[in-house]
Structure 1
Amino acid sequence: MDSRLAAEDVVFLIVPFPLQSHLNQLLRLSTLISSRGFSVHYATTVLHCRQVELRHDTPINTTCPIIFHQLLTPPFLSPPPEPSISSVKFLDHLKPTFEASQTLREPVAALLRELSSTTTRTGTGTRRLVIVHDSLMNYAVQDAASLPNAESYSFNCGSVFCTFCFTCQFTGRPFPVELEPESIPTLDNCFNIEILKLFGNEDEFDLNRHGKLFNTCRAMEGTYLDLLVETMSAEKVQKEKLWAIAPLFPVITENDYDKPHPTLEWLDKQPPNSVIYVSFGSTTLMSREQINELAIGLEESKQRFLWVLRDADRVDIFNAESTILQLPEGFEERVKGVGKVTRDWAPQLGILRHPSVGGFMSHCGWNSCLESLTMGVPLATWPMHSDQPHNALLITHILKVGVQVMGWGERDQLVTSSAIKKSIENLMASSEGHEIRTRAEELGRAIRQSVEGDHHGELNSFLAYATR
């Protein structure tokens, strides 16, 4: 615990959006705040509390444990994942998640009132209740504004580059990367109508008056954080403080936090930097035809690979049969010894930390990008929806720490095995790939150095301000 930040009469309430990548990021933040001796409460739906506790991948402080609050919601459906009927590949079956988030105002308000007047573990009353909420949960936490001892801070799960690009779209500024018009990501071609409606609703209840936290670090995105500030009015800059507080996970290279797992045991037997890790997150659904092309591309590349092949999450991950995604006949036998396919939930942070991993083929969810680059692992980018196309551009065109599997202009086309093979060979077995890996390793060192030991400067700055 940092004694400079200890404040026994300050209570933190964390309110995530109920989607896996959002849940996990704010649980990681909760563990960091708790490790500094603060009382931390984490509140989400009954179902998603259970999910995040099952899948958490960082140690939770036992001296000052996080208190989980399971918020009741009306029953909601959990349909099987199916390809979106729109041109955007965001899965329509997640709509019940968005609807569930909009039912949480009343239980969150009751919890706010309870925590704002509670007696702390030292016997004093709550001097300040600090609410850190996902930027998609403005509606749910709006009643914080009525409490005299409460302050709210929004948490942005995506990249600052993505936020800046959308700001350019709204303000008429030129897009910061030179591309053909059809290759430029926009709100309309990155998100489906349901989530755009959610954005609109949340904007109406943006009552944040104290500051914004960004899940990024200045070593990666300092330029775009500064540019984003330039787009804000002088009044807003005065009223809203900004902090770039990532990475929120342990950055050590030893496997101190990695539990035994078959994927890690397999990696132990592979040479350094020889394996490309292939995973597309929890909200990606590929057609059988696309899976076949990916399998052929991996096999023909002749590179070692670890492929996490899973169906997209349902809203309720506990009461649903997952579809077993089929591979070409004989594929696993032919690649035995060179490649490994796992259909289970895999310890991604431990995999990316492993010295045998030399590349990551990814959908470019921001959490995956942060984890990969913090560990110095370059990416092969294959964005699907949401902020992913912007993150891919940041990696390939600006930071130059990755190769492109698919450009956003080809998003409606089948990605062929030859294109997949070429991108893998570029990343894993070429002079260009070596240069990219060198840049990724240098960036990883810079990111890790920014948070080593107790020198997590911007997080400490936020905590000092919030508990002042």
Structure 2
Amino acid sequence: MEGQNDYRVVVVMVPFPAQGHLNQLLHLSRLVISYGIPVHYAGSATHNYQAKVRVQGWDTESLTKIQFHDFQLPPYASPPPKPDLSVPFPVHLQPLFDISTNLRNPVSELLDQLSAKCRRIIVVYDSMMASVVQDVKFIPKAEPFRFVTVPAFSQFFGFWGAMPESDKPFRIDPRIIIPRCNPSGKGITTPEIVRLFFAEVKFWGFESGRIYNTSKVIEGPYVELLEKLSSNERNDTETKHFVLGPFNPVEMTPGNRKRHGCLEWLNEHDKGSVIYVSFGTMTSLTEEQIGELATGLEKSGQKFIWVLRNADKGDDFCSGKDGNLELTEGYEERVKDRGMVVREWAPQLDILAHRSIGGFMSHCGWNSCIESISMGVPIAAWPMHSDQPLNAILITEVLRIGVMVRDWEDSGKLVSSATIESVIKTLMTTKEGEEIRKRASELGGDVRKSVAKGGATSSEMDAFIAHITR
């Protein structure tokens, strides 16, 4: 394997500028540098900083081994989020998503520079950044790999469900679970993001391989279906598929960062007694929905830690921060003995890994799902948009490690406090919930074994490193 000092093989990560995407490729960077291979992480200065300050589960010494290239984007609008029950997609981030295509020239210049001194450049790019790296095919010694940011289940059925029956190239084995419905329609995305997605899809196909942040332990049959679909579509048997997840650490170490105060609060509570509530960095709830959630949490009688914050802006570090989201007067005082409300970004991996966490009410972004799976924590699934409705089906119907808060057919409607209370009690206090928690714990154990030396994921990572350093 090539040593770090000769720079004969380097890896360049090109992430999409949204937290769940930034985070996944940063975690993959940590895995690659552990093999002594230099990693360059190329993105906007703002979002590189965002990725670094939010990293969890590994120390800052490892972070210094990654070379960050902080490119400047042209000025763009960074409006506050506008919570909307009917369209929970983060439309306020569209200006950032659109302007990110401007990274094409600086990324190409970086690849040119590296090409002059390296034997091979491995370019790992987010599926939504294909246009940014389109010049890679003209750069000597560069080998591109497209990173698929969603689970194989959702990627496969997203494409499969959109195909006319007559165009489907094969039959699915009847033993494989197929979703009862294929969530689509108003609210799942916006016309603007659909246009951006298909603009990027036009640039797919030049990659040497694909990388997935999932595990065959979690969804092996769906990885095989996705590979089969890819092979049929392009008559392609040459593209390599590497299933390397979970990228995130599965055993947490404090490192040298200051521990968040919520972890001290969690220390005071019994094993598996607290439900963690968070809807990620791209979701903002309406005031009315926040009120129903607050009431449901209180009436459930369960201990909880609730991250209550607005979605990230395009530049979440710019001036003009939004004020705190308000709860009814006296609420936090009433629940202080069994509930904690966190109003800033919280260290989710640390929280999920804590022994007192017994459940996770989540929007089912894939980052959150695979982190929860890794830590053996069951999920109360409350999908908001994009791949999340299909991810929720994977969690609740296929893996059976969660309960659905509400069916996607009812998206756009207010979820009542009574429903929230019932779901929390089901997950945390009933026989059904106990069985779900047991399955989640067993799956988490299997995933952790897979990343240990000699496990399936560890072997897959070894194969990937052997391939790129061949």
TM-score using structure 1 length: 0.93
Q: Measure, in 2, the Cα distance between the counterparts of 1:458 and 1:310.
A: 38
Q: Among the aligned pairs, what percent are the same residue? A: 45
Report deviation, 1:412: 1.2
Output one character per residue of 1:410-434: Cα deviation in whole Å (capped at 9) or x when no partner: 1011000000000000000000000
Check whether the contact 2:60–2:256 (CA below 8 A) recurs between aligned residues.
no
Residue aligning to 1:191 = 189
Report deviation, 1:6: 9.8
Corresponding residue SS for 2:389 = helix
Report deviation, 1:189: 4.7
Corresponding residue SS for 2:451 = coil
Residue aligning to 2:262 = 263
Q: 1:427 to 1:37 in 2, by over 3 A?
A: same
Residue aligning to 1:458 = 460
Matches within 5 A, 1:120-269: 126-172=118-164, 177=178, 179=180, 184-186=182-184, 189-233=187-231, 236-252=235-251, 259-269=258-268
Residue aligning to 1:24 = 23
Q: Does residue 404 in structure 1 map to residue 404 in structure 2?
A: yes
Check whether the contact 1:5–1:460 (CA below 8 A) recurs between aligned residues.
no
Check whether the contact 2:276–2:304 (CA below 8 A) recurs between aligned residues.
yes
Stretch deviating more after TM superposition (64-73 or 9-18): 64-73
Stretch deviating more after TM superposition (250-259 or 419-428): 250-259
Q: Measure, in 2, the Cα distance between the counterparts of 1:7 and 1:401.
A: 46
Q: Measure, in 2, the Cα distance between the counterparts of 1:136 and 1:436.
A: 34
Q: Which runs of 5+ in 2 are unaligned?
A: 166-170
Residue aligning to 1:33 = 32
Q: 1:243 to 1:142 in 2, by over 3 A?
A: same
Q: Measure, in 1, the Cα distance between the counterparts of 2:52 and 2:225.
A: 37
Residue aligning to 1:394 = 394
Q: Measure, in 1, the Cα distance between the counterparts of 2:89 and 2:5.
A: 42
Matches within 5 A, 1:358-373: 358-373=358-373
Report deviation, 1:257: 7.5
Corresponding residue SS for 1:139 = coil
Corresponding residue SS for 1:198 = helix
Q: Does residue 414 in structure 1 map to residue 414 in structure 2?
A: yes
Q: 1:308 to 1:64 in 2, by over 3 A?
A: closer
Output one character per residue of 1:393-448: Cα deviation in whole Å (capped at 9) or x when no partner: 00111100001111101101100000000000000000000000000001001100
Report deviation, 1:47: 1.4
Residue aligning to 2:168 = none
Q: Measure, in 1, the Cα distance between the counterparts of 2:259 and 2:367.
A: 22
1:166 corresponds to which letter in structure 2? G
Output one character per residue of 1:304-351: Cα deviation in whole Å (capped at 9) or x when no partner: 000010111111111131231111221111111111111021111000
Q: Measure, in 1, the Cα distance between the counterparts of 2:63 and 2:379.
A: 37
Higher relative contact order (CA 8 A, sep 6+): 2
Output one character per residue of 1:121-152: Cα deviation in whole Å (capped at 9) or x when no partner: xxxxx100110000111000011100221100
Instruction: Give the length in aligned residue pairs.
Output: 456
Report deviation, 1:259: 4.2
Output one character per residue of 1:63-122: Cα deviation in whole Å (capped at 9) or x when no partner: 97111001122111111111359x43212110112112111111111111011113xxxx
Check whether the contact 2:84–2:286 (CA below 8 A) recurs between aligned residues.
no
Output one character per residue of 1:226-267: Cα deviation in whole Å (capped at 9) or x when no partner: 111222335644121111111112212665687422110000
2:209 corresponds to which letter in structure 1? G
Corresponding residue SS for 2:128 = coil
Q: Measure, in 2, the Cα distance between the counterparts of 1:334 and 1:157.
A: 40
Check whether the contact 1:142–1:207 (CA below 8 A) recurs between aligned residues.
no
Residue aligning to 1:351 = 351
Corresponding residue SS for 2:30 = helix
1:360 corresponds to which letter in structure 2? F
Q: Measure, in 1, the Cα distance between the counterparts of 2:39 and 2:207.
A: 21
Check whether the contact 1:34–1:64 (CA below 8 A) recurs between aligned residues.
no
Residue aligning to 1:67 = 67
Residue aligning to 1:285 = 284
Check whether the contact 1:34–1:61 (CA below 8 A) recurs between aligned residues.
no
Q: Measure, in 1, the Cα distance between the counterparts of 2:185 and 2:105.
A: 30
Check whether the contact 1:383–1:389 (CA below 8 A) recurs between aligned residues.
yes
Report deviation, 1:177: 3.8
Residue aligning to 1:97 = 96
Runs of 4+ aligned structure 1 residues displaced above 2 Å come to 2-8, 58-64, 170-179, 186-189, 232-237, 253-259
Q: 1:454 to 1:37 in 2, by over 3 A?
A: farther
Q: 1:259 to 1:457 in 2, by over 3 A?
A: farther
Corresponding residue SS for 1:231 = helix
TM-score using structure 2 length: 0.92
* RMSD of aligned residue pairs (Cα, Å): 2.2
Report deviation, 1:187: 6.6
1:32 corresponds to which letter in structure 2? L
Corresponding residue SS for 1:243 = strand
